[in-house]
C-alpha cells in the first residue's frame, strides 16, 4: 500500500514522466522522417520498410521483455530502456547507412516495447495499491509528450537542419524527464495471480484476446495520426490549411477524453468503456468514409479520438490483473500495432485506395469491441462477463508482512483537476 496521498502523487508524477518520455521520443524521430528520408536518399517503399523494421523489433521483443521484467522488475527495466532509447536517438541522428538505419530502428522497436511494458506495469501497480484509477491520465501524458516533441521539432527545424543537433537537444529533455521519474517509481511490481504468471511460456486464451484488442486499438490510433491529413487532402478535398485539422481533432479529442476517462472507468467499468469505445470509433469513421467531405471526416475523426481514448489504459489494467507475463505479451502486441499498423495501412492503400485503407482502420476499431466480448475482465468472471468489481475502486493486492501493516491510502480527488496530470 501507498501510505499517504503525497506518496500517491509522487508516484503518479514519476510514472507520468515515463509516459511523456516515450511519447516525446517517438514523435521526435517520427517528425523528422522527411529529413531522414532525404539524408539516406530513400524511396517511399524503402522508408516504409524502415518503419516496418521498428514494428518488427517490437513484434519480436516479447520473449525478451518477459525475461527482463521478471529479472529486473519494471523500475530497473524502465531506466535501462530509457538509456537505450537515448543512445538510439543519437545513432539515428548520425547514421548514414540504410542497413545500419534498419538495425537501429529494429532496436528502437525492442526498447520501446521494454519501456512500454515497464511503464504500464508501474501504472497498473499504482492503481491496484492505491485503489484509484489513473492509467488514462498517464496515457494522456504520452499524447502530451508527443505534442511537445512536435512543437520542439518545428522550432529546431527553423533553427538548424542538423538531425544530430536536434536529437541532442531532445536527449536533454528526455534526461530531465528521467530525473523526474527517478523520484517516485514503485520499487515492487504486482505479484502474479498464479505461480506461473510471471514465467515465459505459451500465452493463455485471455492474453491472446487482450493482446488482439490492444493491437487493433493501437493500429487505429497510429494510422489516424499518419494517414488522416492525406485523407483530408486527397479524398475529402480539404485545402492545405485545413488538412492538419484531421490530426488535431483526433489528438485533442483523445487528450481531452483521457482527462475524464478514469472517472468513466470507475463508474461504468473497463469492459463497457472498451466495448462502447470501439463501436463509436469504428462506426463514426465508417460513416465519415461513406458520406465523404470535410465536415463528416472531422466528425468521424473526432469519434475515433473520443472512442479510443480509454481503450488502451483499460486493456493494460486488465492485462496487469493476469500477471506480468500477460502484461508483457499484451504490451508488446500493442507496440507492434502502433509501429507496424500505419505502414500496413499504407500498403493496403497503395494496392486499392486510401478509402479502403481507412476502411481497414474502421474495421480495426470494431474488432477491438469484438475482442472485448471474449476477455475475462475480472479474475473469477467468465469471458465477456461484465465484472461489477471493475466499476469500484480496486482492492489492494496481497503484499508482504511489512506492507500489510501500512494503513490504507484515503480516497481523495486527484490533484490534477480530478482527471489529468
pLDDT digits (tens, 9 = 90+) for 257-312: 988 898 898 899 999 999 999 999 999 999 999 999 999 999 999 999 999 998 98
Is residue 405's pLDDT more than 60?
no
Q: How much is the pTM? A: 0.76
Give me the architecture of the 1-185 domain, per CATH: Up-down Bundle (1.20)
Chain segment 305-335, per-residue pLDDT in tens: 999 998 988 998 888 888 777 888 888 888 8
Task: Note whether 1-185 and 196-391 share their fold.
Answer: yes
Q: How confident is the model at residue 419 (pLDDT cuts 50, 70, 90)?
A: very low
Residue 407 has a pLDDT of 39
Please state which of the ranges 122-126, 213-217, 348-352, 398-402 shows the lowest mean pLDDT. 398-402
Is 196-391 CATH 1.50.10.10? no
- Sorted by where each begins, the domain ranges of the chain are 1-185, 196-391
Query: CB burial class (10 A; 0-12, 13-18, 19+) of residue 412?
Result: exposed
Mapped onto helix, strand or coil, the DSSP state of residue 23 is helix
- How buried is residue 22: exposed, middle or buried, by Cβ count under 10 Å (0-12/13-18/19+)? buried
Residue 400 pLDDT: 37
CB 156 within 8 A of CB 24: no
pLDDT band at 172 (very low <50, low <70, confident <90, very high): very high
The angle that helices 354-372 and 205-234 make with each other, rounded to 10 degrees, is: 150
Amino acid at each position: 500500500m501507498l501510505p499517504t496521498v503525497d506518496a500517491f502523487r509522487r508516484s503518479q508524477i514519476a510514472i507520468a514522466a515515463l509516459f511523456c518520455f516515450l511519447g516525446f521520443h517517438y514523435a521526435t524521430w517520427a517528425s523528422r522522417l522527411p529529413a531522414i528520408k532525404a539524408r539516406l536518399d530513400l524511396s517511399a517503399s524503402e522508408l516504409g520498410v524502415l518503419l516496418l523494421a521498428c514494428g518488427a523489433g517490437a513484434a519480436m521483443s516479447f520473449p525478451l521483455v518477459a525475461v527482463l521484467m521478471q529479472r529486473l522488475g519494471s523500475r530497473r527495466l524502465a531506466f535501462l530502456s530509457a538509456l537505450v532509447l537515448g543512445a538510439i536517438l543519437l545513432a539515428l541522428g548520425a547514421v548514414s547507412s540504410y542497413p545500419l538505419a534498419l538495425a537501429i530502428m529494429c532496436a528502437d522497436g525492442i526498447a520501446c516495447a521494454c519501456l512500454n511494458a515497464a511503464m504500464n506495469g508501474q501504472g497498473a501497480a499504482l492503481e491496484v495499491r492505491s485503489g484509484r484509477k489513473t492509467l488514462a491520465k498517464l496515457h494522456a501524458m504520452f499524447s502530451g509528450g508527443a505534442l511537445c516533441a512536435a512543437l520542439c521539432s518545428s522550432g529546431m527545424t527553423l533553427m538548424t537542419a542538423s538531425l544530430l543537433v536536434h536529437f541532442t537537444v531532445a536527449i536533454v529533455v528526455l534526461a530531465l524527464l528521467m530525473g523526474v521519474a527517478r523520484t517516485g517509481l514503485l520499487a515492487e511490481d504486482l505479484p502474479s495471480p498464479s505461480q506461473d504468471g510471471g514465467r515465459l511460456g505459451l500465452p493463455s486464451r485471455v492474453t491472446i484476446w487482450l493482446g488482439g484488442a490492444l493491437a487493433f486499438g493501437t493500429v487505429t490510433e497510429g494510422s489516424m495520426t499518419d494517414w488522416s491529413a492525406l485523407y483530408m487532402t486527397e479524398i475529402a478535398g480539404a485545402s492545405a490549411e485545413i488538412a492538419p485539422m484531421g490530426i488535431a481533432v483526433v489528438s485533442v479529442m483523445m487528450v481531452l477524453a483521457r482527462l475524464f476517462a478514469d472517472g468513466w472507468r470507475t463508474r461504468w467499468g473497463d469492459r463497457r468503456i472498451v466495448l462502447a469505445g470501439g463501436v463509436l470509433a469504428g462506426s463514426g469513421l465508417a460513416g465519415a468514409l461513406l458520406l465523404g467531405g470535410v465536415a463528416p471526416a472531422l466528425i468521424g475523426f473526432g469519434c475515433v479520438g473520443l472512442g479510443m481514448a480509454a481503450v488502451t489504459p483499460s486493456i493494460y489494467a486488465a492485462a496487469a490483473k493476469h500477471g506480468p507475463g500477460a502484461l508483457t505479451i499484451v504490451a508488446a502486441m500493442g507496440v507492434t500495432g502502433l509501429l507496424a499498423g500505419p505502414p500496413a495501412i499504407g500498403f493496403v492503400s497503395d494496392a486499392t485506395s486510401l478509402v479502403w485503407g481507412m476502411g481497414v482502420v474502421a474495421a480495426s476499431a470494431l474488432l477491438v469491441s469484438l475482442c472485448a466480448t471474449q476477455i475475462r475482465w475480472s479474475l473469477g468472471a467468465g469471458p465477456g462477463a461484465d465484472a461489477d468489481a471493475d466499476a469500484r475502486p480496486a482492492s489492494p493486492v496481497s503484499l508482504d508482512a511489512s506492507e500489510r501493516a501500512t494503513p490504507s491510502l484515503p480516497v481523495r480527488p486527484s490533484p490534477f483537476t480530478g482527471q489529468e496530470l
